[in-house]
């Protein structure tokens, strides 16, 4: 499952951060998930809990925020908001779009102790 590898990636990020910043426990994680990424927040929440078992973030709360998608429209020659990958440009209705943001996932903030 895609979300499982994402969750395991988050665990590695947390373990690296713990090493470099010297904390021992993560109690909450804030995640930004781009609207155009393929990650399903519900599935990710489930996989997160499973992946953190036995780690420094066992039982940590997960807060997921959806960040909006953005694309460059070659017809309008400007950046436009994009809710889904298959959507046309909201201004000209064209499909000459290149996704420039909101297609990734990142750890925005950690609560540690």
- Residues with Cβ within 8 Å of 71's Cβ and at least 6 positions away in sequence, in order, are 79, 80, 81, 82, 89, 97, 98, 99, 100
Q: Are 79 and 72 contacting, i.e. CB atoms less than 8 angstroms apart?
A: yes
Question: Minimum distance between the CB of residue 69 and Zn ion, rounded to whole angstroms?
Answer: 14
The residues binding Zn ion (CB under 5 A) are: 73, 75-76, 89, 91-92
Is there a binding annotation on residue 92? yes
Angle at 48 between CA 67 and CA 63, to 5 degrees: 40
Residue with Cβ nearer Zn ion (43 or 76):
76
**3-class SS at 6?**
helix
- Of the pair 65, 92, the CB lying nearest Zn ion is at 92
Q: Name the minimum Å distance from CB 38 to Zn ion.
A: 24
47 a known binding residue? no
Least Cβ distance, residue 3 to Zn ion (angstroms): 32
């Amino acid at each position: 499952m895609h979300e499982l590898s994402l969750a395991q990636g988050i665990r590695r990020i947390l373990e690296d951060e713990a090493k470099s910043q010297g904390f021992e426990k993560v109690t909450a994680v804030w995640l930004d998930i781009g609207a155009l990424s393929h990650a399903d927040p519900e599935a990710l929440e489930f996989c997160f809990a499973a992946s953190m078992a036995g780690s420094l973030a066992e039982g940590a709360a997960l807060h997921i925020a959806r960040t909006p998608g953005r694309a460059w429209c070659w017809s309008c020659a400007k950046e436009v908001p994009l809710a889904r990958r298959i959507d046309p440009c909201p201004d000209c209705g064209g499909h000459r779009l290149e996704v420039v943001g909101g297609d990734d996932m990142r750890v925005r903030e950690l609560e540690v102790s």
